Amino acid sequence: MSEEPTPVIYWFRQDLRLDDLPALHAAVESGAPVIPCFIIDEDAPQKWAPGNASRWWLRGSLGALAKAIEKRQGTLLVRSGCSEDVLSELIEETGAYAVYCSQAYEPWNRELEERLGARLGRLGVALHCLPGSLIFTPGDVLNRAGLPFKVFTPFWRHCRSQLPESRLLPAPGVGAFAAQVPTGQDPEAWPLASSSLQPVEDWGERWTPGADGALSALDRFLNEALSGYREDRDIPAVAGTSRLSPHLHWGEISPRHVAQVLRTDAPGDTEDDQEKFLAELGWREFNQHLLFHFPHIDEQPFKDDFKSMPWRPDADAFEAWKAGLTGYPIVDAGMRELRATGFMHNRVRMICASFLTKHLLVPWQWGARWFWETLVDADLANNSGGWQWVAGCGADASPWFRIFNPVLQGKKFDPEGAYVRHWVPELAALPDRSLHAPWELAPLLLAEADVVLGETYPHPLVDHATARAQALEAYHDRSSAP
Ligand code: FAD
C-alpha cells in the first residue's frame, strides 16, 4: 500500500472510545501505525444482532468515533460482513502483523474470539484481546472456594474492597493512526437502518451517542443528580439517574473512568449517593460476570426448576403490554416511554417486567426480546439479568412471591402522577388519588376527566388479586412438576 511501516489493526467492538482503552493503548505502544476499523457483523447470531434502537445508537456512535479519529488525522474504516473474513481480508490488503481488540463477554463473541485467534494464528498474525469494558475481569473474581459468586452482596463486597485507584490511559495522539487505510463503506451504506417501530428521527435531541455525549451525561449527573441519587433514582418523573447505560454498553466511556471521576469530581456530602451509584455499576459487573460463567442464561433460567414453569404464551396480552394498553397506568406509561425514547426508567422496568411475567404469566424471554429490540442500552448481560431478577429465576433474584402491585408501586414512586400524566395523557385530568387505578373512580367523575374506560383508555387487562393468586399457583405447580 504505502511506504509506511507495517501496520497493526485495531478492531473496535463494544469499546467505541479512544480514552482509557487498554487494547488500543497497547496497539499504539507497539509503535506500528494503527488502522482503526469497525465491522458490522452480519454473520453474528441473527437473534442477537443489534435491535432497532441499538442500530440507531451504533450509527451515531460510529459517526462520533470517526470524527474523533479524524481529529487525530486517522480514518475509521467501517465494513460489514463476517468479522473473521473481513479481518483476514484487511490483513491481506495491508500486511498488518497483529490485530488488537477488547474482550467481549457474550457467548457468541467469546466463540468468535477463539475462532479468530486460531485463524489469525494460521496466518502468523497475533490477536491481542484485552479487557476494557469492566472494572473487574470476569474469571478473576472468585469466592474463597475458587468459584464464581452467585449472590450480589458478597460479590460487590469483595470487589468494592479492591476497587483500583485507576491511572486512566491516554487517548492516542496525532500520528498514532495510519495515514492511509483501505477503503471502507460509505456511512450511507452502513446496514444500520432503524425501522418505523420507534420515532428515532427525534432522538438526536434526546441522546448524544459517542464519547463526548458520555462525558456530558456524566457531568450533568455529577452536578445535577448525584446529590440525592439514593432516593431520587427510584422516581421516574425525576431525571435522578445518570442515563449512562447506552454509553457504557457501547464502551464510549470506561467504567473505571466513571468511578475515577466520581472519586475526584463529586460534590461534597454525597458519599452515600456515590456508594449507591458505585453499587449500581457493581450490578453491571455482576451481570457480566454471571453471563461469563453461565453463558446459557441469555435465554435459559439460571434456576433450573423454572424450566418447568407453566407460562402462558398469550400473544394478545403480550401485544397489549408492548403497546402500553394494559389498563394499568404505570405499566402503560413505562411501555410508552420505552417505545418513544428507547429508554425506560429502572423502577418502571421492574414494574413492567413483573407485570408481564407475574400478572400475565408471559415468559420473561418474550419481554427480554422486546426490550432488546427497543432499548438504546440493550445489553445481553444486563437485560437477561434484569429480567431473570424480576421473574425470580435469576442467580440472586427477587423471590417469586414478591409480586409488585402496580397500583401501589405507582402511588409510591409517582405520587403526584407526573410520569403517568406525561406518558398517558388521556388520563391527565384524573385526580391524583385515582390516577393509578382509574377503574375505582365513579363513571361520572371519570367522564368529568374525559375518560371512558374501554374507549379512551382500556379496562385493566387482569384483576390484580386474581392475577396474583394465579401467579402463586403457577409458581407452586412449577415446584411440584415432575
Ligand atoms: P444509573 O442509575 O445512573 O446507574 C449507572 C449505571 O449502572 C447504569 O448506566 C448501568 O450501566 C448500571 N446499572 C444501573 N442499574 C443497574 C441494574 N439494575 N443492573 C445492571 N446494571 C445497572 N441495563 C442495561 O444497561 N441494559 C439493559 O438491557 C437492561 N435491561 C434491563 C431489563 C430489566 C427488566 C431491568 C429490571 C433492568 C434492566 N437494566 C438494563 C438495568 C437498569 O434498568 C439500567 O441499567 C438503568 O435503568 C440505566 O439507567 P441509568 O444509566 O440512568 O442508571
CATH number of the CATH domain containing 289: 1.25.40.80
3-state secondary structure of 101: strand
* pLDDT mean across residues, the chain: 96
Residue 183 resides in a domain: no
Domain limits for position 383:
304-478
Contact 226, 274 (CB under 8 A): yes
Residue 236 has pLDDT above 90, yes or no: yes
CATH number of residue 96's parent domain: 3.40.50.620
| pTM of the complete model | 0.97
Q: Whose CA is nearest to atom 44 of ligand 1?
A: 346
Residue 482 has pLDDT above 70, yes or no: no
- Measure 431 CA to ligand 1 centroid, in angstroms: 32
User: Do residue 90 and residue 15 come from a single domain?
Assistant: yes
User: Do residue 96 and residue 141 come from a single domain?
Assistant: no
User: Do residue 120 and residue 138 come from a single domain?
Assistant: no
- Measure 350 CA to ligand 1 centroid, in angstroms: 11
CA-based angle 398:403:407, to the nearest 5?
Answer: 130
Rounded average pLDDT over 458-472: 97
| H-type alpha helices, 225-343 | 229-232, 245-249, 255-265, 271-293, 315-323, 329-341
User: Do residue 386 and residue 461 come from a single domain?
Assistant: yes
User: Do residue 263 and residue 331 come from a single domain?
Assistant: no
Contacts for 481 with CB less than 8 Å, ≥ 6 apart: 308, 310
Is 364 designated active site? yes
Last residue of a domain, one of 132, 156, 190: 132
Res 47: pLDDT = 81
- Measure 245 CA to ligand 1 centroid, in angstroms: 6
Res 379: pLDDT = 98
Res 45: pLDDT = 81
Last residue of a domain, one of 268, 293, 318: 293
Tens digits of per-residue pLDDT, 112-130?
Answer: 999 999 999 999 999 999 9
- Between β-strands 8-12 and 34-41, what pairing exists: parallel, antiparallel or unpaired? parallel
**pLDDT more than 90, % of the chain:** 93
Of 108, 129, 97, 183, nearest in space to 15 by CA? 129
Res 3: pLDDT = 66
Residue 463 resides in a domain: yes
User: Do residue 238 and residue 315 come from a single domain?
Assistant: no
Catalytic residue among 250, 321, 387, 423: 387
Count up the domains in the chain and report the number.
Answer: 3
Task: Using pLDDT thresholds of 50, 70 and 90, give the confidence band for residue 144.
Answer: very high
User: Do residue 452 and residue 308 come from a single domain?
Assistant: yes
User: Do residue 77 and residue 149 come from a single domain?
Assistant: no
**pLDDT more than 70, % of the chain:** 99
Task: Using pLDDT thresholds of 50, 70 and 90, give the confidence band for residue 481.
Answer: low
Residue 415 resides in a domain: yes
CA-CA distance, 419 to 428, in Å (whole number)? 10
CA-CA distance, 390 to 400, in Å (whole number)? 8
Residue 339 resides in a domain: yes
Of 56, 288, 24, nearest in space to 149 by CA? 288
ipTM > 0.95, yes or no: yes
Amino acid, res. 406: P
CA-CA distance, 19 to 103, in Å (whole number)? 16
Contact 164, 256 (CB under 8 A): yes
Catalytic residue among 207, 283, 321, 370: 283
User: Do residue 286 and residue 382 come from a single domain?
Assistant: no
Q: Which DSSP symbol is given to 222? A: I
Q: 247-279: b or e for each residue (b if 16 or more CB lie within 10 Å)?
A: bbbbbbbbbbbbbbbbeeebeeebeebbeebbb
Pocket test for ligand 1, best of 219, 226, 377, 409 (most atoms within 8 A of CB): 377
Tens digits of per-residue pLDDT, 79-107?
Answer: 999 999 999 999 999 999 999 999 999 99
Contacts for 317 with CB less than 8 Å, ≥ 6 apart: 360, 362, 461
CA-CA distance, 69 to 71, in Å (whole number)? 5
CA-CA distance, 250 to 150, in Å (whole number)? 26
- Measure 391 CA to ligand 1 centroid, in angstroms: 16
Task: Using pLDDT thresholds of 50, 70 and 90, give the confidence band for residue 343.
Answer: very high
Residue 203 has pLDDT above 90, yes or no: yes
Last residue of a domain, one of 69, 104, 132: 132
* Burial class of residue 188, CB neighbours in 10 A (0-12, 13-18, 19+): exposed
User: Do residue 145 and residue 222 come from a single domain?
Assistant: yes
Is 346 designated active site? yes
Residue 191 resides in a domain: no
Residue 185 resides in a domain: no
CA-CA distance, 395 to 388, in Å (whole number)? 8
Task: Using pLDDT thresholds of 50, 70 and 90, give the confidence band for residue 480.
Answer: low
Is 387 designated active site? yes
Q: Is 242 annotated as a binding residue?
A: yes
Q: Whose CA is nearest to atom 38 of ligand 1?
A: 386
Residue 181 resides in a domain: no
Amino acid, res. 37: C
CATH number of residue 451's parent domain: 1.10.579.10
Question: Ligand 1: which residues within 6 Å by Cβ?
Answer: 233, 241-245, 248-249, 280-281, 283-284, 287, 346, 349-350, 353, 371, 375, 377-379, 382-383, 386-387, 390
DSSP 174-210: TTSB-S-------GGG-S----TTS-GGGHHHH---S
Task: Using pLDDT thresholds of 50, 70 and 90, give the confidence band for residue 479.
Answer: low
3-state secondary structure of 127: strand
Rounded average pLDDT over 261-269: 92
- Measure 382 CA to ligand 1 centroid, in angstroms: 7
User: Do residue 110 and residue 234 come from a single domain?
Assistant: no
Task: Using pLDDT thresholds of 50, 70 and 90, give the confidence band for residue 402.
Answer: confident
Res 181: pLDDT = 95
User: Do residue 364 and residue 215 come from a single domain?
Assistant: no
Residue 201 resides in a domain: no
Of 456, 418, 399, 409, nearest in space to 437 by CA? 409
Q: Is 277 annotated as a binding residue?
A: yes
